[in-house]
Structure 1
Amino acid sequence: MTTSTQSLLQTSLGEIATQLAGATRVFRQYKLDFCCGGGISLEEALQRKQLDAEPVLKQLEALKDESPEQDWTTRPIPELVNYIYNHFHLVHREQLPELRRMARRVETVHGDKSDCPLGLADQLEILENELESHMQKEESILFPMLQQGAGAHAGGPIQVMMHEHNDHGEALQRLVELTNDMTPPADACNTWRALYLGLDQLRNDLMEHIHLENNVLFRRALAA
């Protein structure tokens, strides 16, 4: 094992996701939690999932030769806040009502099947309400503070937001458990398949959202 790969293993998921463009794609592929669980090392995360380190390390090392993505660790904080609002807050507000509608449809039509995700629509409604409350607090209190350069005084609101992010991570896990990791049965109808495809996109978007706030925006704001 090279010094580089050994160093990667000892680095936290959150740090890798922040420092290595494209790493979040790899982490999503292997279902490694780089947002709420971003504080543990890559090595520990792989051990918990009982994953072979070699293919993961190989993909991460290959990213170093790719064209760089947007580096949010250096862009102005107001620009990052606007990006999060436009690419995640507005998107979640479109995603969740439609997913909830499809979940109700699937439960109504296929509720007699053993693999039907009964209770999914209710869980999505809970997540939608909690996430809407969370985003409104960010938009009305925290984001204006950060855009005005008052991040060093935003420790209290940031701690509250990070705690709520943990709740969102737990909500995502409940969705995973209800849907067999968002894998539709072989005989699933088109609505069922579209529902799980949309849920997987929601998972990816929400994890990226939380990562950018926890590991980039909040850290930079507090250090300013």
Structure 2
Amino acid sequence: MTELSPSANVGDIASTLPGAAEIFRQNGISFCCGGKLSLAEAAAGQGLDVAPLLDALRALEAGAARTAPEETLPLIDHILTRYHATHRTELDWLIPLAEKVEMVHGDHDEAPLGLAEALVALRDELESHMAKEEQVLFPMMRQGGHPMIRHPIGAMRHEHDTTTDLLRGIEHATHGLALPEGACRSWTALYTGLEKFTGDVVAHIHLENTVLFPRFEIAA
């Protein structure tokens, strides 16, 4: 998790803190094309005071894991049902919808060109990642851990970074999920679904990186 401060990178915050992306959107801050800026620089660019932004982000950070079960085994079950199953279900309709919008509106200046391809790449990465958790890591955790568990956890953390990079590609292809004026219902539904989906992926990564994994890394 990126440490929250005025010098923190906007793109890193958006891709690691659940809900941060929406706060940035509400304040007109780009975290795809302008994601290399510090929070202070991005706020200044919009004529904003950085302090209220930091307060809002810190409030998100404090509440990020509150909806998840506290005990480890129920937490694993929660990740499987709330995130693994949900990601699969949503990608099944987001990808064909992205293909439709690209095909119908490909000549529009703000068309999300390359979005379907980016979603397919993300689906493939997530499917491989989630299968490893389901078949290897989570069974080890259910048995109480293992002296070597830090190795698969390290691999999962590395793959989380890859997923984060793919999320940035989706943000870029959709111009920050900014709908053009007069967007059709399909385009609107696509971006509404993507906002929820990408937020879920960030929350999923955050929950594992900051809550679940450390419990076993300390014991290993």
Q: Percent identity?
A: 38
Give the AA of the match of 2:177: M
- TM-score under structure 2 length normalisation: 0.77
CA shift, 1:59, in A, is 3.7
The match for 1:39 is none
Shift of 1:46: 2.5
Please give the per-residue CA displacement for 1:7-52, whole angstroms capped at 9, x wherever unaligned: 9749x99xxx9xxxxx844x343349xxxxxxxxxxx962364463
Unmatched tracts of structure 1, length 5 or more: 1-6, 18-22, 33-43
Task: Give the equivalent residue in structure 2 for 1:139.
Answer: 134
Residue 30 of structure 1 aligns to a residue in which SS? helix
Change in Cα spacing, 1:158 to 1:136, as seen in structure 2 (3 Å) is same
User: What is the number of equivalent residue pairs in this alignment?
Assistant: 194
In structure 2, stretches of 5+ residues that fail to align are 26-36
1:85 has 2:89 as partner: no
Q: Distance in 1 between matches of 2:124 and 2:86?
A: 15
1:53 partner amino acid: V
| 1:106–1:192 Cα contact (<8 Å) kept | yes
* In structure 2, C-alpha distance between the alignment counterparts of 1:29 and 1:108, rounded to whole Å: 28
The CA RMSD measured in Å over matched residues stands at: 3.1
* Preserved contact between residue 68 and residue 78 of structure 2 (Cα < 8 Å): no
Residue matched to 1:114: 109
Alpha-carbon shift at residue 183 of structure 1 (Å)? 1.1
Aligned residue number for residue 89 of structure 2: 94
1:210-221 matches, cutoff 5 A:
210-221=205-216
Following the alignment from structure 2 to structure 1, what is the Cα–Cα distance between the partners of residues 169 and 103? 20
Aligned pairs for 1:149-168 (under 5 A) are 149-150=144-145, 152-168=147-163
Equivalent positions of 1:1-224 (< 5 A) are 9=5, 24-25=18-19, 27-31=20-24, 46-47=39-40, 49-50=42-43, 52-59=49-56, 69-70=66-67, 75-150=70-145, 152-224=147-219
Residue pair 1:102, 1:195 contacting (<8 A) in 2 also? yes
1:107-132 deviation line (CA, Å, top 9, x unaligned): 11111212111111111111111110
Kindly state the Cα deviation for residue 62 of structure 1 after the two structures are TM-superposed: 6.8
Pairwise CA distance, 1:57: 4.2
Q: CA deviation at 1:71?
A: 6.4
Measure, in 2, the Cα distance between the counterparts of 1:183 and 1:117: 10
Distance in 1 (CA, whole Å) between partners of 2:58 and 2:93 is 38
Query: Is contact 1:151-1:222 (8 Å) kept?
Result: no
Change (3 A) 1:148 1:45: farther
- C-alpha contact (below 8 Å) 1:152/1:222 kept by paired residues: no
Q: Report the counterpart of residue 30 of structure 2 in structure 1.
A: none
What's the secondary structure of 1:150's corresponding residue? Answer: coil
Q: 1:191 to 1:166 in 2, by over 3 A?
A: same
Secondary structure (helix, strand or coil) at the match of 2:178 reads coil
1:53 Cα deviation from its structure 2 partner: 2.7
Residue deviations 1:107-161, cap 9 Å, x none? 1111121211111111111111111011001000000111111155311101111
SS of the residue aligned with 1:164? Answer: helix
- CA shift, 1:203, in A, is 1.1
Helix, strand or coil at the partner of 1:115 = coil
